[in-house]
Structure 1
Amino acid sequence: MLTISKEFRFSASHVLGNLPEGHQCGRMHGHNYLVVIELSAAPEDLDSAGFVRDFGELSVVKKWLDDNFDHRHLNDVMGGMNPTAENISKWIYENWKEEIPELSAVCVSETPSTWARYHPSPSPA
């Protein structure tokens, strides 16, 4: 398999639920998020130029993130889902998998030292 990745950034606030009383993430706070999408294809599935997918075609993801996430309160954006980095990565994946079938994983970082990565489990044989 060959894998490419592209990163995007946005800033947003959130409040995480179901935490112990006094937990810092239970208060409204914000992050400068980094999102990395990964696309994979077998060598025989590359396009005629030899790409998994042309990076330029991924500008629609940037526009979608800007329109839906940037400078927003993620609790309002994600329809009641607790906006953890884990849930954000899965939500982004699920929103783009149909349009970008090569999408193999989505990584979300809230801080320079923390990451969550969503990738679907392989189908059972």
Structure 2
Amino acid sequence: MFRITKQFHFSASHQLTCLPPDHQCARLHGHNYIVEIELAANELNAHGFVRDYHDLTPLKRYIDESFDHRHLNDVLDHEQVTAEYLARHFYEWCKARLPETSAVRVSETPKTWAQYRP
């Protein structure tokens, strides 16, 4: 199995209102997010790629236009916009456009990652 990954970055705010009011994540706060898409294939295409990295440009555009410097609870119309929820959201968006999508990871901090892999 061949696998490739690419990272995308954006900054945004969110709020996890289901948590107790004294929990730090219940307050409005923001992160410098990293989204990492993984694509996999059993065989390489005619050019020797799983997928040309240039084909990931629409994901960059989607992130830049819809997520960067936005309030994620409003963007996704969802109360609990966690890293786990974002990983699944980006996986589903990518899988619909890039069938080789095998996983998406989202980081909110340098030490934490959430991954969605069906």
Do these two structures clear the TM 0.5 threshold for a shared fold by scoring above it? Answer: yes
Structure 2 residue 64 is matched with structure 1 residue 72: no
Match of residue 33 from structure 2:
33
Closer/same/farther in 2, CA of residues 19 and 41 from structure 1, 3 Å limit: same
> Structure 1 vs Structure 2: percent identity of aligned residues?
55
Structure 2 residue 50 is matched with structure 1 residue 22: no
SS at match of 1:79: coil
Q: In structure 1, which of residues 80, 83, 86 is the aligned counterpart of residue 81 of structure 2?
A: 83
The answer to whether the Cα contact below 8 Å between 1:2 and 1:42 also exists between their aligned partners in 2 is: yes
Unpaired segments ≥5 residues, structure 2? none
Q: TM-score, normalised by structure 1?
A: 0.91
Q: Give the letter aligned to residue 106 of structure 1.
A: V
Q: Give the letter aligned to residue 80 of structure 1.
A: H
Q: CA deviation at 1:81?
A: 4.7
Match of residue 108 from structure 2:
110
Q: TM-score, normalised by structure 2?
A: 0.96
SS at match of 2:96: coil
Closer/same/farther in 2, CA of residues 33 and 93 from structure 1, 3 Å limit: same
Q: Give the letter aligned to residue 26 of structure 2.
A: G
Q: CA deviation at 1:71?
A: 0.3
Q: Report the number of matched residues.
A: 118
Structure 2 residue 3 is matched with structure 1 residue 3: yes
Report the Cα distance in structure 2 between the residues aligned to 1:21 and 1:81, rounded to whole angstroms: 15
Q: CA deviation at 1:50?
A: 1.0
Segments ≥4 residues shifted beyond 4 Å: none
Report the Cα distance in structure 2 between the residues aligned to 1:80 and 1:28, rounded to whole angstroms: 14
CA RMSD of aligned residues (A): 0.9
Please list the CA deviations of residues 74-102 of structure 1 after superposition, one character each: whole Å capped at 9, or x if unmatched.
00011225110000000111112111000
The answer to whether the Cα contact below 8 Å between 2:17 and 2:79 also exists between their aligned partners in 1 is: no
